[in-house]
Structure 1
Amino acid sequence: MSLQAHDLHTEFPEYRDAIHALKVSDNHFSRLFDRYHEVNRHVVRIEVEAEVATDPELEDLKKERLKLKDELFGLLQRFSPA
């Protein structure tokens, strides 16, 4: 199984500067960013079989990761409109 990188800098390379700016200036963004990466690390550990989880547990984590990514993307778009 080939794993894809899901860190925000890989997902949104065009927002690299905005990600940094928001991490240091916006507590809400920073908390979401940290939670996103925490969930992502958990998913990766399960996918590489370093941790055990049921299929529904893994799916729930992936859904949470997607929800967080969507919210973070919205904040990034508002911070740096095109």
Structure 2
Amino acid sequence: MNIEHHDLAHEFPEHREKIHSLKMGSTHFSKLFEVYHTATKEVKHLEGEGMSVTAQKKTRALLKDQLCAIIIA
């Protein structure tokens, strides 16, 4: 099984410092980050159980889009 890293530090290593700064200084970003992290853990768990994760992956992608918009703003 191929392990993919979906945490933001792996997805956007060039923005690692900004991500950390936003997590510390923005309540909105921090909450979105936690929801994204939880969604990623859920997807990994469900995939490990052989269950369908289409809806969870869509949710995670939407969260990632929101986080990316904040990071590059």
Counterpart in the other structure of 1:20: 20
Q: What percentage of aligned pairs have identical amino acids? A: 41
* TM-score, length basis structure 2: 0.93
Counterpart in the other structure of 2:6: 6
Aligned length: 73
Computed over aligned residues only, the root mean square deviation of the Cα atoms, in angstroms, reads 1.1
Counterpart in the other structure of 2:62: 67
| Equivalent-residue separation in structure 1 for 2:62 and 2:3 (angstroms) | 20
* TM-score, length basis structure 1: 0.84
Per the TM alignment, residue 48 of structure 1 is displaced from its structure 2 partner at its CA by 1.6
Structure 1 residue ranges, 4+ long, deviating more than 4 angstroms after superposition: none
Question: For residue 39 of structure 2, what is the amino acid of its counterpart?
Answer: V
Q: What are the ranges of 5 or more consecutive residues in structure 2 without an aligned counterpart?
A: none
Q: What are the ranges of 5 or more consecutive residues in structure 1 without an aligned counterpart?
A: none
Tell which has more relative contact order, 1 or 2 (C-alpha 8 A, sep 6+).
Answer: 1
Cα deviation code 1:21-65 (max 9, x no counterpart): 00010000000000000000000011122xx64x2xx11100000
